[in-house]
Chains A and B, each alone.
Chain A
Amino acid sequence: MKLYKIVAKDMLRRKRRVLYAALGVVIGTMTVVGILTIASAGEAKIYKQLEQYGPNLTVIPAINNLDMKLGNLSMGTLTVGENYIPEDQLPKIRQIADSKIREALKITDEGDIATIAPKLFANTKVNGVSLVVVGVDPQQERIVKSWWEVGKGTYLDGTDQALVGAIAADLLKLNVGDTVPLNESSVKVTGILKETGASDDYQIFAPLATVQKAFNKEDVISSLDIRALCNACPVEMIADSINQNIPGVRAIAVKQIAQSEMGLVEKMNSLMFALAGITLMVGLFGVVNTMMSSVHERTKDIGIMRAVGASRKQIIKIFIFEAVVIGIIGGIAGYLLGTALAYLIGPLVFEGTAVYFVPQYFPVALIVSITVAVLAAVYPAIKAAEIRVADSFRSV
């Protein structure tokens, strides 16, 4: 029979005391796991929201007077001059974007990764009102503008069709089936967008080729949006590379929104971790306390063990072993309770967020819990080892 076996048996018989000692560790670990789980759910939610903010990059002709700070959102109010991007640059831009993403994410599979949505802006008059017609790649545009909803009619699915922004449709009294003149030719309204709050509301969208043909701008585009479809994508590197390798264009990383949102997440995470740290400290002192009272309670037992041949090291070993067991109990219970806690309050913290348990946090919980328990046991164990046999019996 080994020392540990006897300690384990002894602990089994003192179940309640042991569980009480584990409580501090359980609460600390529970908080850490709960916070980690909620934070990961929140992060996932914000990343998902970020994806909806649209393109990560905008590429425009190098020579023009667009106000860069407004990014692509102000494009609708600006008249694009003589400067265009040749359409044959598109494959090159795509190649740069895809290769940078592959590098960053270490993926090797072929095929398109980034979404690249080219645009051609033109002016037209409908019912005497001047407005912007945007030639787009219907599929790519839909991915970039994932918040678009077709209110009436259907989305673009063929040539000579038009999708009208909500306010434009309202002002021009356009309806599904109406015709919109584009220079010499015309397109038929196939759908009307719901209001988006952006400049899209004032614009008309038609297939790129149709607009190019109508305005004699074949083989050119005004700008293009790139969406990397990942959160860790190196948008700035893609922008740098495009600026260096493709003459006549200017690539801008649209990061403002992403940066401020992520900054918020990071701040919240550090606040939560500080909270978890404090809870762990409190838990640690709780365990020190319980262990100290356990040492006092067991002064006689420790004296007996010393009297029958236990060395100081063995007494310390006994307490550290107990701490490890307490740590394991605390880790398992803390992980389960912490996950439950996240399921309970996660949706309150991040409104309507689905919380998922994270198996990777189980070893984290175990390590945190055992570390805290062992740290907490060091001082009581040393105190226990200092107990002298004669004193221990005198106090009984």
Chain B
Amino acid sequence: MLEVKNASKIYGEGLARVVALDNVSLEVEIGNFIAVMGPSGSGKSTLLNIIGGLDQLSSGEVILDGNRIDGYDENALVEIRRGKIAYVFQQYHLMSSLTALENVLMPLIFAGDGKNEKDALDILKRVGLEKRANHKPCQLSGGEQQRVAIARTLVTSPSLILADEPTGNMDQKTGNEILELFKELNEEGRSIVMVTHSPDIAKHAKEIVNLQDGQIVDRTRHFHIEVPRQICRC
């Protein structure tokens, strides 16, 4: 469903020139769960940003469902963010002034589609937070905040979820709960690309991509993870 071809990203010029991505090619198939690993500065976050159209490529192509999106303008990218690709961040990035429910509602409001509060509540229930719907982020634990953030991505039913160190700010137990949630979503047929530096977390994925100095040095498929039990439950 998504393909990155010969992607390079260079920041700065002259002495300050940094090659964040160096001719990287990666394919994300429907239903895959890829963990992108690598030391900090290896370009993993840059790769994620480029996949999602948050950052521009210096050269190369990003193809989503057969369309090149690397040259898309802001308006076209907005359309992609409203239905196909959604993000989960390490810092959750919830609006601190809004309640959990309002945070989940936000993508619906911007997209202006027919869904309403009930749909948002259903999704909060899905991540086990229906009782916290009217709490603000500061009243929620890190794990709960990340669940709200995940609910916020789910509300537009994206086919691809991009997660940048989603468990980075959590203890192991909470982190594992979030990972279980990701696995469930993957089993429903959503593709997931998750950036992490921890092998323990990466091993939950179906495929591990290792980045070093902006290049893919290793790609491993973990076939011990069973084939999706069910596809598209929602």
Which residues of A are in contact with B by a Cβ distance under 8 Å?
A: 1-3, 6, 9-10, 13-14, 300-301, 303-312, 314, 388-390, 393, 396
Top 9 nearest A-B pairs (CB, nearest first) are A309-B82, A309-B110, A390-B54, A308-B107, A13-B97, A310-B110, A311-B78, A390-B55, A309-B81
**Which among A10, A307, A312 is the interface contact of B54 at CB below 8 angstroms?**
A307
Q: Given that A6-B109, A309-B110, A390-B54 are contacting pairs, would A300 and B116 also be in contact in the complex, using a CB cutoff of 8 Å?
A: no
Residue from B54, B78, B86, B91 in contact with A396 in the complex, judged by beta carbons closer than 8 Å: B91
- Interface code B19-57, partner A: CB below 8 Å = 1, 0 otherwise? 000000000000000000000000000000100001100
User: Are A9 and B109 in touch, CB under 8 angstroms?
Assistant: no
B111 at the interface (CB under 8 A from A): yes
A309 surroundings in chain B (CB, below 8 A): 78, 81-82, 106-107, 110-111, 156
Give the total number of A-B pairs whose CB atoms are below 8 A apart. Answer: 73
A307-B93, A310-B78 in contact; A6/B54 too (CB < 8 A)? Answer: no
CB of B105 closer than 8 Å to a CB of A: yes
The smallest beta-carbon distance between B73 and chain A, in angstroms, is 10
Pick the contact of A308 from B96, B106, B116 — CB < 8 Å?
B106
CB of B110 within 8 A of CB of A9, answer no
CB distance from B10 to the nearest CB of A (A): 15
Indicate if B95 sits at the interface (CB-CB under 8 A).
yes
Contact B105 A311 (CB under 8 A): no
Task: List CB contacts (< 8 Å) of B102-135 with chain A.
Answer: 102, 105-111, 116-117
On chain B, the residues within 8 Å of A307 by CB distance are 54, 81, 87, 93
| Given A1-B117, A309-B78, A390-B55, A6-B93 contact (CB < 8 Å) | no
Interface residues on B, range: 20 to 34
The answer to whether B55 and A9 touch across the interface, beta carbons within 8 angstroms, is no
B232 on the A face (CB < 8 A):
no
Q: What 1/0 mask marks residues of chain B from 190 to 230 whose CB sits below 8 Å from any chain A CB? A: 00000000000000000000000000000000000000000
Q: Are A14 and B97 in contact (CB under 8 A)?
A: yes
Q: A1-B117, A305-B106, A306-B78 are in contact. List 15 more A-B contacts (CB 8 A).
A: A1-B102, A1-B109, A3-B110, A6-B105, A6-B106, A9-B97, A9-B98, A10-B95, A10-B97, A307-B54, A309-B106, A312-B74, A312-B75, A393-B89, A396-B91
Q: Is the CB of A6 within 8 A of B116?
A: no
A3 to B105, CA, bound (A): 10
Bound CA–CA A14/B108 (angstroms): 23
Instruction: Give every chain A residue within 8 A of B91 (Cβ-Cβ).
Output: 393, 396
Tell me the complex Cα distance, A197–B38, Å: 102
